[in-house]
Amino acid sequence: MESHVSEKVDLPFKPLPPEVLEEYSGRLREALGLKRVIDEEGRVVDEGLMPKLPPSEMREIYEYMVRARVIDSWLLKLQRMGRVALHAPNKGQEATAVGTAKPMKPQDWLFPSYRELGAYLVRGMSEEEILDRALNTIDDPLKGSDFAIYGNRKYNIVPAPVPVGNQIPLATGAAMAAKILGHDTVVVAMFGDGASSRGDFHAGLNFAGVFKAPVVFVLQNNQWAISVPVKRQTAAPSFAIKALAYGIPGVRVDGNDVLAVYSVVSEALERARRGEGPTLVEAVTYRLGPHTTADDPGRYRSEEEVKIAERYEPLKRFRKFLDSQGILTEKEALQMEEEWNARVEDIVKRVLEKPGLPKDVFFHNVYERRPWHLEEEYEEFKESLKVAEELGLELEE
Amino acid sequence: MPRVNMVQALNMALREEMRRDPRVVVLGEDVGRRGGVFLVTEGLIDEFGEERVIDTPLTEMGIVGVAIGMAMYGLRPVAEIQFIDFIYEAFDQIVNNAAWMRFRSGGMYKIPLVIRGPCCGGIRGGMHHSQSNEAYFMHTPGLYVVMPSRPYDAKGLLKESIRVDDAVIFLEPKSVYRTIREEVPEDDYTVPLGKARIVREGDDVTLVTWGAMVYVAEQAAKIAEEKHGWSVEIIDLRTLLPWDRNAVISSLEKTGRLVIVHEARLFAGPGAEISAYIAENYIDLLRGPIKRVASYDTPFPLVHEKLYMPNVARVYKALMEVMQW
């Protein structure tokens, strides 16, 4: 009798071949190590990983980090003045945001989270636009939809979700679409350590691995998901190691070393562009501020820890490097910060003068065309404003 | 009797139930050291330890799914959803397991679980910190859906919810978390599920509402009374699934007019169920059409939220329309 079993059928009841073991041993080292170009004192520790950038571009990278720091502090100030509903401080994470966005191409898409001001600036969003958004002026590009998030199709920045991590599968899907359409587009998703616990993280990375999607996942491990420390998020020794189970490489990098982030993300973007699939980058950083302006970190973490984390702070460290290389002196760096502060102060003054969004703004952008019931509600809404006026009621404080 | 706000009343309820029954555990994001972002679980970790006050990884699917497993095995978990707007990741678990496990196991397993969290708008929270999504859960047989409007009810309803042998979705209107203070007994008392409270008696029109809208309704009723002498009876349903039809029917026997006010959206909102039930079964009690005032059928906006939610002008307008019909 002729056998129907093809020679090609190879059932896996045996250990995987040694080359798989070898490949994964290498990947394991990348996922458990820590890539760095400069140390806390700005000294070069890995010449091989140093990105090939001219001094002018190094300087530009620093300037983006300064701008991120400056606008962050203004948003904090405006929140305290009661002008901004809520702000999620970025302080301490500027290197990851800038180092991730800088090597991206304009056609690449970014799916950010809510602590990536540096990335928006790199992709062309201005301080004025950030302020229009935060203050919900007439020019708010997201038209008063939600707080603490930014985005604009103009720069291929998809508005971030407030529910943590739900952008991850979207990034994979956009990358799959780019691949199907044959576009030279890589998608970058940025999220935090907390997001790695979500089902979305699993689905997003799993699909990306299976379909070799051109996507780079940048997990900003800032040690805290509000009050929950990393050890409560995972029992694994690193987040990068999670990538291995999805069949994709995971790289652990010092997220406060902008040069290292730049280098690692560049490599991941190139891999994706070559059609070699996704990468998970774990950027080890530290959230120096509260989770948001509504948080009180004194309840759950020590000041001592924050003080120690300050030593790893990304701006100071890069400044020391630039100074030692004769690219930018400490004095010039300080001057740069002062200039941006003055510039942003002027922008703040101007933006504060702008009118707010029209009262009926929320009736727009629900559908392409409003269904009848929403039209009826819109009419009722307009009548209710008249009733309020007749009664002399101040509906908004 | 201490005068406390709703956050403190909820904290009292949890503490008392955890002392009374060692099977009661609390789990969620930031419920331990942080005491919850609104401090509802403040101090519980000090009294009951990390075994019973569990800071979880960040996933609503995980929190709810794990809590269901705990409940099946014999604990009585109270799962906190940090903002109720984040609950959708857990939807599969809530519908297919929490609500239906009793049915699909032929009654072999019960799910004594409370899923609680802050809901509703009024704090300039934008679309993901403001939703009133009770209707999604009201459409799910097997669940109870509860929303207190004041500290006394919050404590009594939460204690009752913990003792019930089915899953309860417990929604806390965060805009009144700290704005209303009242005397709340330190004794062990409960408020039964499915029973409404008459907030204010009246003869001309019945206004059915719940949550923070109780306070908007009171203001509108006051204006209607001052301007026209109409007396408005306000009913706070407190439980939405099942809702207290007897309270509404008895009131309609006096007034013959019905206005329903809720912060949830209008289309297929909770008011549609109440309205349809009354129209189908008690049309003879009505002197005119039922009127609903609800949030508009758009996502919750960050700007102009007071215009988006039912406000005094809109409730007053509805009272006028019903009275002058």
- pLDDT in single tens digits along all 325 residues of chain B: 899 999 999 999 999 999 999 999 999 999 999 999 999 999 999 999 999 999 999 999 999 999 999 999 999 999 999 999 999 999 999 999 999 999 999 999 999 999 999 999 999 999 999 999 999 999 999 999 999 999 999 999 999 999 999 999 999 999 999 999 999 999 999 999 999 999 999 999 999 999 999 999 999 999 999 999 999 999 999 999 999 999 999 999 999 999 999 999 999 999 999 999 999 999 999 999 999 999 999 999 999 999 999 999 999 999 999 999 9
Count of domains in chain B?
2
pLDDT band at A395 (very low <50, low <70, confident <90, very high): confident
Are A227 and B308 within 8 A, CB to CB? Answer: no
Give the tens place of pLDDT for each residue, A247-276.
999 999 999 999 999 999 999 999 999 999
**What residues make up the domain containing B87?**
3-183
Mutate to test the interface with B, among A78, A84, A145, A383 (most CBs of B within 10 A): A145
**Which domain CATH number covers B107?**
3.40.50.970
Query: Does B44 share its domain with B146?
Result: yes
Distance CA B237, CA B243 (A): 6
Asked whether A345 and A338 are in contact (CB, 8 A), the reply is: no
Say how far apart CA A373 and CA A384 lie, in whole Å.
16
Residue B236 in domain: yes
Q: Where are the alpha helices (DSSP H) in B147-231?
A: 151-163, 213-228
B129 assigned to active site:
yes
CA distance B240 to B277: 13
Q: Does B238 share its domain with B319?
A: yes
Q: Which residue is closest to A386 within chain B, CA to CA?
A: B313
Partner residue opposite A197 with nearest CB, options B57, B297, B314: B57
| Residues B45, B174 within the same domain | yes
Residue A8: pLDDT band with limits 50, 70, 90: confident
**Closest to A67 measured CA to CA, from A110, A141, A119:** A119
CA distance A325 to chain B (A): 42
B188 occurs within a structural domain:
no
Are B317 and A161 a contacting pair at CB < 8 A?
no
Rounded Cα distance between A215 and B261, Å, is: 47
In a domain, B137, yes or no: yes
Token pair for residue A314? 């990304």
Q: Would residue B310 be called left, alpha or beta, if left means φ above 0 and alpha means ψ between -120 and 50 degrees?
A: beta
Coil, strand or helix at A279:
strand
pLDDT band at A30 (very low <50, low <70, confident <90, very high): very high
Angle at which helix A55-80 crosses helix A330-352, to 10 degrees, equals 40
Query: Which residues of B fall within a CB distance of 8 Å from A195?
Result: 58
**Cβ neighbours of B56 in A, within 8 Å:** 228, 232
Whether residue A2 has pLDDT greater than 60: no
Q: Which of B296, B189, B285 is nearest to A379 (CA)?
A: B296
Same domain, B31 and B132: yes
Tokens of A344: 């942003």
What residue ranges of chain A are covered by domains with CATH 3.40.50.970?
18-352
| Residue B294 sits in the same domain as residue B211 | yes
CB-based contact A227 B33, cutoff 8 Å: yes
How many other CB atoms sit within 10 Å of the CB of residue B213? 32
CATH architecture classification, A18-352: 3-Layer(aba) Sandwich (3.40)
Q: Which one from B128, B129, B139, B262 is the annotated catalytic residue?
A: B129
Check: CB of residue B252 under 8 Å from CB of residue B278. Answer: yes
Which of B127, B85, B87, B107 is CA-nearest to residue B296?
B127
If you measure CA to CA, which chain B residue comes closest to A388?
B313
Structure tokens at B217: 């309704």
Using DSSP bridges, classify how beta strands B232-236 and B197-200 pair: parallel, antiparallel or unpaired: antiparallel
B150 with B227, same domain? no
Task: Give the CA distances from residue A7 to residues A13, A15, A259, in Å, rounded to whole numbers and listed in that order.
Answer: 16, 19, 51
Question: Cβ contact (<8 Å) for B37 and A295?
Answer: yes
Query: How many H helices and E strands in chain A?
Result: 13, 7
Question: pTM, whole model, 2 decimals?
Answer: 0.95
Mean pLDDT confidence for A332-338: 98
Residues B105 and B249 grouped into a single domain: no
d(Cα B159, Cα B181) in Å, to the nearest integer? 19
Tokens 């996922």 found at: A31
Which of B183, B210, B227 terminates a domain? The answer is B183
Residue B80 and residue B147 in one domain: yes
Q: Is residue B191 part of a domain?
A: no
Q: Are residues B168 and B210 in the same domain?
A: no
Cβ neighbours of B128 in A, within 8 Å: 146, 161-163
What is the ipTM, given to two decimal places?
0.92
B77 with B221, same domain: the answer is: no
Q: Are residues B303 and B274 in the same domain?
A: yes
H helices of A181-253, in order, are 199-210, 242-245
DSSP alpha helices (H): ranges in B3-150? 6-20, 44-48, 60-73, 91-92, 101-104, 134-138
- Residues in chain A closer than 8 A to B297 (CB atoms): 366, 373-374, 377
Can you tell me the distance from the alpha carbon of A60 to that of A19, in angstroms, rounded to the nearest whole number?
A: 43
How far is the C-alpha of A144 from the C-alpha of A157, rounded, in Å? Answer: 17
- How far is the alpha carbon of A270 from chain B, nearest alpha carbon, in Å? 31
What are the pLDDT digits (tens) for A157-167?
999 999 999 99
In 3D, which of B37, B80, B128 has the Cα closest to residue A290?
Answer: B37
Asked if residues B262 and B209 have their Cβ atoms less than 8 Å apart, the reply is: yes
The one catalytic residue in A36, A271, A287, A319 is A287
Same domain membership, residue B204 and residue B175: no
Nearest C-alpha neighbor of A172 from the set A151, A202, A195: A202
- Chain B residues with CB inside 8 Å of A194's CB? 57-58
Largest Cα separation within chain B, whole Å, is 60
